[in-house]
Structure 1
Amino acid sequence: MKKEHDGKRKVFLRMVMFVCIAVFVHPLSASADVIFEPENNFYERHSDECSYFDRSCLAGADTYLWDAPNLTTEGGKLQKGDSIYISFVYTDNDGLEWGLAETQDKWILMADLYLEYGSPEFMEEHSDEIYEDEPYLLSDGTVFVSWSYPESGVINSSGASVMDDYEITTFYKDPDGRLWGYTAYMYGTRDVWICLSDMSDTNIPQRVEHELIPAQEADASQIAAVKESGQFSVLFLGVPVIIIAGIAGFLIWWFWIRKKRLKRQRGQRML
């Protein structure tokens, strides 16, 4: 009887351990890959038509904040050079791209924004020099510096460390002979470049200074027409409000103020 009781107890403990692992361990291991979707009315209706962007942009000289793509510009304007984070991009029927400025809960024409040269542009420019090879092992606890891209002069993270062994299989060798490793996603960060020749060096200078890149190339007349229609939408929405307010004011005057005056005049005549 005692052995049977011990056996049941072991089975029960195993079940408890399995539940704990399923509830606690699995979500933690998967949480790094979760993309949190924004709470925006337009996005919620068109999420299947939006693509994940996840980059910061710089505002141009005439950058409006829109309530939704092609819907009014009453949200105001950004100052030239303002940095703004775009989480998702929507493309309308005319091919114009609209970025969701999640912090402001507004939409922006991507043609009004500029991108700083980064890893995507570097990888496109140097696609012939970037190669796959045997895995390079970063052992648990290895400290490294993460860069925007090779010889960018821009450090994304200094003093980061490897959790468990990590393998890199994408490489690039710069003109000075330094070997760089790339991973698309590492511990919640996208586009990670590590100088494998010296992982702790924080003084690798910028080789080339790049100009800002338009977030979308678009015809200037098309953009101007969209902005005019947006401003017209504000006027179109505002005029009915003014008319309704005017009518309401007239009715108040006619049925209340006017009658009150007439009663007062009649009272004075009777006196």
Structure 2
Amino acid sequence: MKKIVCILAGMLCCLLGSISVKADVIWEPDDSFYWEHAEECTHVERMYTTNGPDNQVISYKSPELPQEVETWENGVRVQILFTYEDSRGNLWGIYDDYQGTTGWVPMEYMELVYDSIAFREEYKAQITGDAGELDEKYVGETICLWKYPGSEEYTPMEVSDYTPEYRGIYVDGNGKRWGCVGYYFGIRDTWVCIDEPTADFEQIFPEGAADMAVVDQEIEDKALSESQSTERIVPELNRNLVIIAGILVILVVAATAVLLVKLKRGKNKP
């Protein structure tokens, strides 16, 4: 009986492990303002390029605290995890460097980097709703998970236990089929070439793929060339926080004064 229980427990662990690998995990930053306003934040998790006035973008402690965290020159890529809209209608994005630093930046100064989501929006009329998964013969092989069809950016991934599933198929100008992979071993929202999953860019596109999608660099160059002359957006200090801080200071001063009076009286006693 004990042996059977152990076997069942082992099978359950394997099942749970498989489920956890396939689960779509959303990373939440360790940031006090985010946790206070999590329900008001929108999940984004996309890459942006800094493009602020005076050739710089400043990140702040929070949308309500104008304490500067970092300053970047234009052209730096930053992953925005969530966005938050303040009382003035300004949209703020939070980033996490995964080394203990988080900050909030005005999304007005962030240009979206062309990605899989942008590709799907641009080519939605040409993407079918078909679904499937790569053939099991690719288990043990190294496949390429692409940023989007036609992009030169891809992640090599060794297929171990199971092949990636895809939903939505796009056929490029060369007749090759591409499947959109929602999630696979920690990598989210990529594409796999169904017909040649192990091939690299030069093998799939020997003559290039500039006609398939907008090139990242062209988008960034255009965005960075646009001048911005508006007044810089900075956090508006939360008046409630100022009032609370003032009250706390008054209470501390009062408590200190009372304590000093008591100590003085104690010394004067015979």
Name the structure 1 match of 2:265. none
Structure 2: gaps spanning 5 or more residues: 247-270
Matches within 5 A, 1:238-249: none
Q: 1:134 to 1:75 in 2, by over 3 A?
A: closer
Name the structure 1 match of 2:75. 81
Query: Per-residue displacement from partner, 1:104-161 (whole Å, max 9, x unpaired)?
Result: 3111111111222111111000000000236354313343211110111222x12532
- Give the SS at the match of 1:44: helix
Deviation at 1:91, TM superposition (A): 2.3
Matches within 5 A, 1:116-265: 116-133=113-130, 135-139=132-136, 140-155=139-154, 157-161=155-159, 163-202=161-200, 203=202, 204=205, 205-207=208-210, 208-209=214-215, 210-212=218-220, 221=230, 224=231, 226-227=233-234, 229=236
Deviation at 1:162, TM superposition (A): 5.3
For the aligned residues, what is the CA RMSD? 3.2
Q: Distance in 1 between matches of 2:19 and 2:130?
A: 27
Paired residues of 1:178 and 1:197 also in contact (CA < 8 A):
yes
Name the structure 1 match of 2:250. none
Q: Give the total of aligned pairs.
A: 218
Deviation at 1:67, TM superposition (A): 0.8
The residue type equivalent to 2:26 in the other structure is I
Please state if 1:13 is matched with 2:3. yes
Name the structure 2 match of 1:29. 18
Paired residues of 1:64 and 1:73 also in contact (CA < 8 A):
no
Q: Distance in 1 between matches of 2:42 and 2:236?
A: 25
| TM norm structure 2 | 0.69
- Matched-pair identity in %: 24
- Give the SS at the match of 1:64: strand
Structure 1: gaps spanning 5 or more residues: 1-9, 241-271
Q: 1:161 to 1:16 in 2, by over 3 A?
A: closer
Q: 1:201 to 1:38 in 2, by over 3 A?
A: same
